[in-house]
């Protein structure tokens, strides 16, 4: 019997490219065919961020140029450049439609440096380049999984086309974020070589479920299963009802289980859900907190402080609810709400989760507090509490030609990779830095953020003609070079 295999893979990258100009969402999945592995790339172009022009038919459309490059040892091994046209419009008064692109590229097993370059043919905006390292390693003698393709809709294939797989046309859902108005999660996955481990045509179980990134209790998850006969390729295309899945970070978990209930292989894929709980005061009042860690809290001031600590990691609805409780100052209700907050984080050990967070609060208060603001209320404190300790950091104290600034980098955060935060101190207040720019989802994105950090005198001098040609010793160029050092 083959050893137990655990794969924790997130191959989805939902990227907002150049936030104030062209916007593109992208991810990829890999698969194995009878001849070669291949990668599928999925792009969604946000129509109202492209430039529509009149074409030879007298109608309006936009044109996007897409370059996909794979390199090994510095040499290009696969290259594809193509143009993608939007749907044609009779005029440019109505809303511009989004449009998608899907490509299928065959590759051998190996590690590749991947580049994606997206350019609006009709716009003067600079091209955007995304780079990543992609590993393909499909073996012939062990169970393995394809990438997990999230699916918007599907139908039986009438005629083979680029969307076709296993008898279905799959319209990709090009994101790993599921908003409140989406009630279903549909996904497609191929499982290879089950018949190498389980006798061919013998029944086995495929179990799939959602797992919270903070609570591994399977009993609380949305789940399903299928029985299939062992084959060289087994395919699943299930639907999971996520209507009751609360906001949070989750994994979609797929397991291969034999008739002895032994897990032979497992795969995890990250996704996010936005469905804020409808906070109900009556239900919170019903929570029994006797013999819990909050029952020992007798000071109203302590409870008010603990609730205030939650703001950096609370969502919008929770923050409003917290504000109301801080104003009401009902000690018993505050204790019940505080317990329910941490119970939602971990039903098995809410006190443990709180103690971990409390240690982080102490760290940011010691590191980022000013004379008038506690560390957890600062931008750096909030980012630290929400994203954790940065993997890399660059600190530049004030100079003659730039404001003090810090750059933080996280190699990975949930489904995102290589995210950066730029803080600066335009007021020169002691230990006070504001968040200026970030590449993380949902955070402020500022084009030419380096110009805000450069001193106003040098700003005016360098950019009198709105030029991007900085001198080598310019403050803006120094900021950019520091930013590039964080890889």
Q: Taking a C-beta distance cutoff of 8 angstroms, is the pair 406, 438 a contact?
A: no
Q: How many Å apart are CA 325 and CA 110, to the nearest integer?
A: 55
Residues 29 and 118 in one domain: yes
Residue 162, domain CATH: 2.60.40.2550
Instruction: Cite the beta strand spans of 140-244 per DSSP E.
Output: 144-145, 149-156, 164-165, 168-172, 177-178, 184-192, 203-212, 223-229, 233-236, 239-241
What backbone torsions phi and psi does residue 427 show, to the nearest 5 degrees? -100, -10
Residues 270 and 358 in one domain: no
**63-72 sheet: strands from edge to edge:** 75-85, 63-72, 110-120, 128-136
Residues 178 and 264 in one domain: yes
Per-residue model confidence (pLDDT) at position 487: 60
pLDDT tens, residue by residue, 94-112: 678 889 999 999 999 999 9
Q: How many Å apart are CA 242 and CA 236, to the nearest integer?
A: 18
Per-residue model confidence (pLDDT) at position 106: 95
What backbone torsions phi and psi does residue 333 show, to the nearest 5 degrees? -70, -40
Determine, yes or no, domain membership for 243.
yes
Residues 328 and 406 in one domain: no
Last residue of a domain, one of 275, 305, 340: 275
At residue 417, the 3 state secondary structure works out as strand
Q: What is the DSSP string of 148-168?
A: -EEEEEEEE-SS--TTEETTE
Which residue do the tokens 């190996």 mark? 110
Determine, yes or no, domain membership for 384.
no
Residue 32, domain CATH: 2.60.40.10
Task: Give Rg (Cα) of the chain.
Answer: 26
What percent of the chain is modeled with pLDDT above 90? 47
Last residue of a domain, one of 275, 307, 342: 275
Residues 218 and 188 in one domain: yes
Instruction: Count CB atoms within 10 A of the CB of residue 121.
Output: 14
Determine, yes or no, domain membership for 40.
yes
Nearest to 167 by CA among 188, 148, 149: 188
Q: How many Å apart are CA 142 and CA 263, to the nearest integer?
A: 13
How many CA atoms are closer than 13 Å to the CA of 305, on its beta-carbon side? 10
Nearest to 130 by CA among 409, 482, 416, 437: 416
Instruction: Give the residue numbers spanning the domain of 61.
Output: 11-138
Residues 145 and 271 in one domain: yes
Determine, yes or no, domain membership for 6.
no
Residues 151 and 268 in one domain: yes
Nearest to 180 by CA among 53, 91, 272: 272
Determine, yes or no, domain membership for 300.
yes
Q: Taking a C-beta distance cutoff of 8 angstroms, is the pair 424, 435 a contact?
A: no
Residues 477 and 412 in one domain: yes
Q: How many Å apart are CA 258 and CA 230, to the nearest integer?
A: 10
Count of structural domains within the chain: 4
Per-residue model confidence (pLDDT) at position 24: 87
In DSSP terms, which residues pair with 53 in a beta bridge? 61
Tell me the CA end-to-end span of the chain in Å, nearest whole number.
Answer: 41
Q: How many Å apart are CA 98 and CA 87, to the nearest integer?
A: 9
Per-residue model confidence (pLDDT) at position 259: 92
Residues 133 and 146 in one domain: no
Residues 235 and 222 in one domain: yes
Residues 132 and 146 in one domain: no
Determine, yes or no, domain membership for 376.
no
Q: What is the DSSP string of 296-335?
A: G---HHHHHHHHHTTGGG--HHHHHHHHHHHHH--HHHHH
Determine, yes or no, domain membership for 319.
yes
At residue 457, the 3 state secondary structure works out as helix
Q: Taking a C-beta distance cutoff of 8 angstroms, is the pair 424, 438 a contact?
A: no
What backbone torsions phi and psi does residue 391 show, to the nearest 5 degrees? -75, -30
Structure tokens at 149: 């393709």
Last residue of a domain, one of 234, 253, 275: 275
Low-confidence ranges of the chain (pLDDT < 50): 1-20, 456-472
What backbone torsions phi and psi does residue 299 show, to the nearest 5 degrees? -95, 125
Determine, yes or no, domain membership for 5.
no
Residues 157 and 206 in one domain: yes
CA distances from 474 to 72, 265, 276, 407, 447 (A): 36, 54, 46, 18, 18
């Amino acid at each position: 019997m083959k050893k137990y295999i655990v794969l924790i893979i997130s191959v989805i990258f939902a990227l907002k490219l150049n936030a104030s100009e062209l916007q593109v969402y992208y991810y990829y999945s890999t698969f194995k065919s009878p001849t070669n592995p291949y990668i599928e790339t999925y792009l969604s172009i946000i129509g109202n961020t492209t430039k529509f022009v009149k074409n030879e038919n007298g109608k309006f459309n936009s044109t996007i140029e897409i370059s996909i490059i794979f390199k090994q040892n510095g040499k290009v091994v696969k290259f594809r450049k193509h143009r993608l046209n939007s749907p044609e419009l009779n005029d440019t008064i109505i809303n511009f439609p989004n449009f998608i692109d899907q490509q299928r590229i065959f590759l051998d097993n190996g590690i590749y440096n991947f580049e994606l370059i997206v350019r609006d043919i009709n716009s003067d905006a600079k091209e955007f380049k995304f780079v990543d390292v992609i590993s393909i390693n499909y073996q012939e003698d062990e169970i393995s999984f394809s990438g997990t393709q999230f699916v918007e809709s599907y139908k039986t294939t009438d005629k083979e086309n680029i969307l076709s797989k296993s008898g279905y046309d799959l319209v990709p859902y090009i994101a790993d974020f599921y908003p409140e108005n989406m009630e279903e999660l549909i996904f497609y996955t191929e499982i290879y070589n089950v018949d190498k481990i389980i006798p061919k045509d013998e029944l086995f179980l495929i179990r799939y479920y959602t797992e919270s990134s903070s609570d591994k209790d399977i009993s609380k998850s949305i789940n399903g299963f299928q029985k299939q006969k062992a084959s060289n390729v087994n395919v699943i295309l299930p639907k999971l009802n996520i209507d009751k899945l609360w906001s949070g970070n989750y994994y979609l978990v797929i397991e291969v289980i034999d008739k002895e209930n032994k897990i032979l292989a497992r795969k995890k894929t990250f996704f996010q859900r936005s469905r804020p709980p409808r906070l109900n005061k009556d239900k919170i009042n019903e929570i029994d907190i006797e013999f819990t860690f909050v029952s020992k809290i007798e000071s109203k001031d302590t409870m008010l402080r603990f609730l205030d600590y939650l703001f950096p990691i609370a969502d919008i609805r929770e923050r409003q609810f917290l504000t109301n409780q801080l104003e009401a100052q009902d000690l018993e209700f505050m204790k019940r709400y505080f317990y329910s907050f941490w119970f939602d984080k971990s039903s098995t050990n809410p006190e443990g989760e709180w103690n971990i967070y409390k240690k982080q609060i102490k760290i940011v208060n010691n590191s980022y507090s000013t004379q008038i603001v506690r560390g957890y209320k600062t931008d750096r404190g909030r980012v630290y509490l929400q994203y954790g300790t940065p993997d890399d950091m660059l600190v530049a104290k004030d100079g003659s030609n730039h404001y003090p600034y810090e750059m933080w980098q996280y190699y990975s955060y949930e489904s995102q990779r290589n995210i950066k935060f730029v803080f600066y101190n335009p007021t020169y207040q002691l230990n006070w830095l504001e968040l200026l720019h970030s590449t993380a989802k949902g955070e402020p994105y500022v084009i030419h953020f380096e110009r805000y950090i450069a001193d106003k005198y040098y700003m005016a001098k360098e950019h009198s003609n709105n030029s991007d040609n900085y001198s080598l010793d310019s403050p803006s160029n120094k900021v950019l070079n520091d930013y590039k050092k964080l890889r």
